[in-house]
Structure 1
Amino acid sequence: MAASAARCAPFSRAVVNSIRKLYPEALADKSWDNTGLLLEAPFDPARRRSNTVLLTIDLTKAVVDEAIELDASVIVSYHPIIFKGLKSITLANGQQQSLLRLAAEGISVYSPHSAIDAAPGGLNDWLADIITGTPAVLSQKSSPRRSRSPAKAFEEDDDPFVVKGGSAYKLQHHPSPRLQPFDRKLTVTSAAHDRDPVVPLQVEGAPGAGTGRIVKFKERQTLSILIDRVARGLGKPKGFPVAVPQGKSITEITVSSVGICAGSGGGLLSGLDVDLLFTGELSHHEALAAIERGTSVITLFHSNSERGFLDDVLRTQLEESVSQEWDRLRADENDGSDAFQDDEVTIEVSEQDRDPYGIVVQTG
């Protein structure tokens, strides 16, 4: 007797279809990126998981535990957990161990990465909205927080970045939008501007797509106002790196143009003739080269330039699009089995996901 063909869960297929419509894989830079369905877990009807999607920037062991406790069917991990070819998948490797655990639990993994970066209205446009004070992104309301059960919500007392026992220092982690809602009340008004991709892409159905963004203000903006927008748009972090040309102070610098890149922007932004670079990270020498040519720099630590997008934009998009795709798939394929009975769709943003770096703050 021939074995039946393995398939992933119907709900998981609805999620993948939905993400591919929102952020087509044709937008991804396949020359280096590994975007798409990275783990397609086989469906076991006897162990059907809930219609829950967990959003994260990095797929760590802690996030895997969280997904299992949430009974999630799919993890949407912005950064791909698989970048290079694998010659084996064993328990000896931490990341491969996570993949094996997820496959055994029936949880699939999709990575949209550079497709989200390049998409019109995607991650780099979100950063451009923050730096310009664009009302559209600042007026978005996050969905009400749902109580976590049985998964344990992150609490401040559990934070290993806080040194206990009376130390004069503590390590503050950049706040997560799941823990500290964004402050939408900017102290400045939105700034009229033009914006274009640094490297445009010609992809059917995606006008304005491309890598990075260049913002050109109609009127020059003070650097201090831009820093304020960034801080408020990203949940008031304890601090983030800013570099200015020697001999200049933040209060006297004005900006007419900004080069933007989520994550690591050194390669993309290094040759731009702009007043400010706004990115997740630059190397020491890239930042030094920028200020030597008169360009200021704002960096946020790599993944902190990306994480807020999950709760601010992607969560709401997927709540709508996955619901629509799931309704369509149920209408087309419903065979009366339990796999199609649940009409609920839940999109969660990880409470365990965070950048590996925190900021040491002297308290005494």
Structure 2
Amino acid sequence: MSITTRSAPFSRAVVRAIRRLYPQALADNSWDNTGLLLEAPFDPSSRRSNNVLLTIDLTCGVANEAIALDSSIIIAYHPIIFRGLKSITLENSQQQTLLRLASRGISVYSPHTAIDAAPGGLGDWLADIVTATKIIQDGSEQSPEQQPEQKKGAEDDPFIEKGKPPNTFTLHRHPSQTMLRLAGLSTPHKTSVSHTRRPVVPQSPELESHPGAGMGRIVTFENPQPLADLLDRIGERLNNPKTFPIAIPQDKTISDISIRSVGICAGSGASLLASLDVDLLFTGEMSHHEALAAIEKGQVVISLFHSNSERGFLSEVLAGQLEDAVEEEWAKLRDEEKETVDEAVKEALKQEGFEVIVSEVDRDPYGIVVLKDSR
């Protein structure tokens, strides 16, 4: 007798939705590991809520958050399984996380470089930042006076950890998704500096459903832009702290430099950007020697810390995209399986509503310590 084991119906609808938005064929499968990495069996006795949790990194803290939220599935941008596993034990912290999630019936999907390559994905989101292309979700414009007021000063900021008396340091971390929404960063202005953009490496063969896809982006401005203006645009979207590494040629100052072209790659972009003949390399991280090589060629390098070049995309773009796609796929799946003889599945299909949640726990491992003069 054969036994059919499947994941929760809602989880399957979410997988269909994310695959439609960001097909695995767009990922760089020569090294990446995308797709459904953990498919937890559906257990009717402990059915999960219809919510999906979005995160960049699937850490122990994010797993705890998913369990507390009663999530059915986690969409983790970075794959928690990257290389082949010969065993899955409790001794390894990441494997322990996977085992805990599987025991709770929570599946895990990783889209990673499929999101990087897709039109409207991470590459275009970063290009939107440097070109001041900011589109609000409802399609209407929002003037500065309509935007929620940003918090002033560091006194009440929960993302600044203060030192014990005597107070000689503060540790600044990238704000949570709630703080980003309160600051109005998910509803920015509708503006754009005139430019063209194209992939660094176009998708081949091109997917009919996703024309113009490819890894990285090259932005060329119609008119050269002062580097200081680009720094303002990046800082505006980062919220606080407005602090990030920049490397410029040793015989230049920021006010000397104008930018006509920008090479863009989320995360660690050196391998994709190193050979480009552009004025600015905009990425998540580059090594010391890679940055030195760039400025010796007369280029500027801006890096945002690896995952902080990716995290804002979740609330600004992916959450809304996924809500629309899941709504459609969940309705289709409920209709397709309405005649099922499995009473537990029938019961699960009755729950029409769902929620897309962006992790509040997920954050880059690095913060920025600001030391104070204790003299």
- The normalised TM-score by structure 1 is 0.91
1:234 is aligned to: 238
Structure-2 separation of matches of 1:188 and 1:213: 21
Q: How does 1:147-296 map to 2 (within 5 A)?
A: 161-181=161-181, 182-183=183-184, 190-201=192-203, 202-296=206-300
User: Within 2, Cα distance between the matches of 1:8 and 1:180?
Assistant: 33
Q: CA separation in 2, counterparts of 1:269 and 1:234? A: 22
Q: Distance in 1 between matches of 2:278 and 2:188?
A: 24
Displacement after TM superposition at 1:213 (Å): 0.2
Aligned residues: 349
On the 8 A contact 1:263/1:280 being kept in 2, the answer is yes
Q: Contact 1:276–1:298 (CA<8 Å) still a contact in 2?
A: yes
Cα–Cα, structure 1 residues 330 and 186, in superposed 2: closer, same or farther, change >3 Å? closer
| Percent identity over paired residues | 60
Deviations 1:142-166 (A, max 9, x none): xxxxxxxxxxxxx965x69543333
Aligned positions of 1:347-358 closer than 5 A: 347-358=356-367
What pairs up with 1:72-221 in 2 under 5 angstroms? 72-136=71-135, 161-181=161-181, 182-183=183-184, 190-201=192-203, 202-221=206-225
What per-residue deviation string (whole Å, max 9, x for no partner) do you get for residues 157-207 of structure 1? Answer: 5x6954333331121112233323355598996210010000001223211
**More off after superposition, 119-128 vs 196-205:** 196-205
C-alpha distance in 1, partners of 2:232/2:66? 35
1:70-127 deviation digits (Å, cap 9, x = unpaired): 0000000000000000000000000000000000000000000000000011000000
Aligned partners of 1:227, 1:360: CA distance in 2, in Å? Answer: 21
In 1, are the aligned partners of 2:136 and 2:188 still within 8 Å (CA)? no
Letter paired with 1:176: S
Q: CA deviation at 1:137?
A: 6.0
- The answer to whether the Cα contact below 8 Å between 1:172 and 1:238 also exists between their aligned partners in 2 is no
Where 2:84 maps in the other structure, the secondary structure is coil
Contact 2:57 2:362 in 1 (8 A): yes
In the alignment, what sits opposite 1:341? Answer: 350
Give, in angstroms, the shift of residue 332 of structure 1. Answer: 1.2
Q: Matches of 2:17 and 2:190 in 1, distance apart?
A: 36
1:26 corresponds to which residue? 25
Specify whether residues 187 and 105 from structure 1 end up closer, same or farther in structure 2 by C-alpha distance, changes over 3 A only: closer
Residue 10 of structure 1 aligns with which residue?
A: 9
Query: What letter corresponds to residue 61 of structure 1 in structure 2?
Result: C
* Amino acid of the structure 1 residue aligned with 2:199: P
Determine if the alignment matches structure 1 residue 362 to structure 2 residue 362.
no
Give 2:99's aligned amino acid: L
Structure 1 residue 224: deviation in Å?
Answer: 0.6
Cα distance, 1:140–1:356 mapped onto 2, change above 3 Å: farther
- For 1:178, the aligned partner's letter is T
Q: In 2, distance between residues paired with 1:327 and 1:127?
A: 32
AA matched with 1:220: P
Q: Equivalent residue for 1:150?
A: none
Q: What corresponds to 1:310 in structure 2?
A: 314
Residue aligned with 1:294, SS:
coil
Map Cα deviations across residues 290-322 of structure 1 (whole Å, 9 max, x no partner).
Answer: 111110111000000000000000000111110
Cα 1:188/1:64, change in 2 over 3 Å = closer
